Amino acid sequence: MKLPDGMGLVCAGGLSQSFLTRLPALLARLGPIKAPSFRVARQMSNTLRAGSPASHYSALDGCPMIWVSVPEASLDRVLRDLVVRTPIRQAPFTKTMVVLCGCERDSMAPDLLKGTGARVATLNPVPDEQEKIFVAEGHAGTVRTLRGLLERDRRKLICLQPASKPLYFAGIHMSAPLLLPWIAAGVECLRASGFTRAEAVKVGEILGSRAIKKYGKAGVKAWNRQTEAALRHALEHDLVKIRCRDARLAEIYEQGIGIALAQFR
């Protein structure tokens, strides 16, 4: 796939931490850079060693692809400024690919881009994957171009189903931060039973790693009757004793068992 040259970049705040700075295929094709001020745009260009600073959004006219990398709280304002840059044009982005980088919303959310002719997509790196895996959703042609660009840098792109970005973030959250309360409670239980903290963490790490590997191989079959029976026994016989020692841990344990039994009913 032939990738377009002269891509535009609209950026603000913390670009040096963005994955964009580590995509050589993009930097080699970068054109005008628009930032909150020309001075900042020049700094961004010097930092990236690519592109050229722009003083006005009109410099982005003619760019086949425009990357937008700004904080989520600033996105609506930046898009508004971008759209009204040339008021006399009815469709300022006809066939222009617009990539919203690292945002939580999906490509259908920015009302400001509707009716502009823009081919909108969003691009996010998968957390803790050293920016080797990305997810994208939106206009098929734009996603296809993103795939080609990322492949040049040996990155993998996973295309999300339409309107499924909330499900993507739910999967990310349930696979990591939402597990932390259960991990912490498990470690606390082991420590209360006599383990040192290091021993409890080590056992939790082994069991957690084994569980995810087992699920990866067997899917829902990793859940079996023996597991269910053991949890039901704990629910009926062990909770009273645990509650006497620590009511909070007993409550978390009971909730966890209830969620598991409902999930694999």
Domain ranges in the chain are 7-173, 175-263
pLDDT value of residue 88:
47
**Residue labelled with tokens 């003083």:** 55
Rounded Cα–Cα distance for residues 246 and 188 (Å): 10
Task: Kindly report, residue by residue over 38-88, the tens digit of the pLDDT.
Answer: 999 999 999 899 999 999 999 998 899 999 999 999 999 999 998 876 544
- Return the SS3 of 66: strand
pLDDT value of residue 92:
67
Measured in whole angstroms, how far is the alpha carbon of residue 195 from the centre of its chain? 36
Rounded Cα–Cα distance for residues 29 and 220 (Å): 45
Angle subtended at Cα 17 by Cα 102 and Cα 107, rounded to the nearest 5 degrees: 10
Q: Which residues of the chain have pLDDT under 50?
A: 87-90
Average model confidence (pLDDT) across the chain? 92
Q: Which residues, in sequence order, are CB contacts of 40 under 8 Å at separation 6+?
A: 12
Q: Under CATH, to which class is 7-173 assigned?
A: alpha beta
